[in-house]
Amino acid sequence: MRLQDRIKPGLRVLFVGINPGVRSAITGHHFAGYSNRFWKLLSDSRLVPEPITYEDDDRLPEWGLGITNLIARPSPGINDLRPAEYIEAWSVLNRKIRRYRPKVVALVGVTLYRALLPLLDCPPAASALGPQPVKIHGARLFVLPNPSGRNANFTYAEMLDAYVRLRRWCEHVNELRHAT
């Protein structure tokens, strides 16, 4: 089963995951894994105004947020994905960004960012997390830690800090747009 994108034109942030997990494919909702902290991070960082769960993913556009995946094929983990799939999927994601024109594209995972970096034709920033020195069809790029429970590289506090930085950065980007 393919997960439905939650996208509309002119979003503040388009979150991009690598690909759906098996539970997300079964439930039909993004980031539905039992140990996934994406929805808690959205609430705790105040990117959304109220606590929500994966079952509320269709509400994201209400708050100027959207969600999609680079690779549509579900898998138990990213080790099941082939390098060629990243390259093939980039052209689809690139078209989505061009069509919907989000202000910010938030890549959910450093692994995703590193896989796309050669395709973005830009130098890496000093830090793989946070804002990156590239725009995609006018959208600014921001990299977040992967909220999967399997991600032992970041504590919840470090993840939350990155999501709060995204919220604040989006507020700053919005202020800059209104000042010009």
Please provide the size of the chain in residues.
180
Q: CA-CA distance, 78 to 80, in Å (whole number)?
A: 5
**118: which residues sit within 8 A by CB, 6+ positions away?**
none
Q: What is the pLDDT of residues 114-134, one digit of tens each?
A: 888 888 877 777 778 999 988
Q: What pLDDT shows up at residue 151?
A: 66
Q: What pLDDT shows up at residue 176?
A: 54
Q: Compute how many other C-beta atoms are within 10 angstroms of the C-beta atom of residue 100.
A: 18
Q: What is the pLDDT of residues 59-109, one digit of tens each?
A: 999 999 999 999 888 887 777 888 888 888 999 999 999 999 999 999 999
DSSP state of 78: G
Whether the CA torsion 22, 17, 155, 163 is positive or negative: it is negative
Alpha carbon 176 to chain centroid, angstroms: 22
Q: CA-CA distance, 158 to 75, in Å (whole number)?
A: 26
Q: CA-CA distance, 137 to 103, in Å (whole number)?
A: 9
Q: What pLDDT shows up at residue 1?
A: 61
Instruction: Please name every residue paired with 144 in a beta bridge, in sequence order, or none if there are none.
Output: 108
Q: What is the pLDDT of residues 6-63, one digit of tens each?
A: 999 989 999 999 888 888 988 999 999 888 899 999 999 999 999 999 999 999 999 9
Mean pLDDT for 163-176 is 83
Pick the CATH number of 13-179 from 3.40.470.10, 3.40.50.720, 3.30.2290.10, 3.90.1150.10: 3.40.470.10
pTM as predicted? 0.91
104 close to 13: Cβ distance less than 8 angstroms: yes
Instruction: Please name every residue paired with 172 in a beta bridge, in sequence order, or none if there are none.
Output: none
20 close to 74: Cβ distance less than 8 angstroms: yes
Domain boundaries, the chain: 13-179
Name the region of 137 (left: φ>0; alpha: ψ -120 to 50; beta: rest).
left
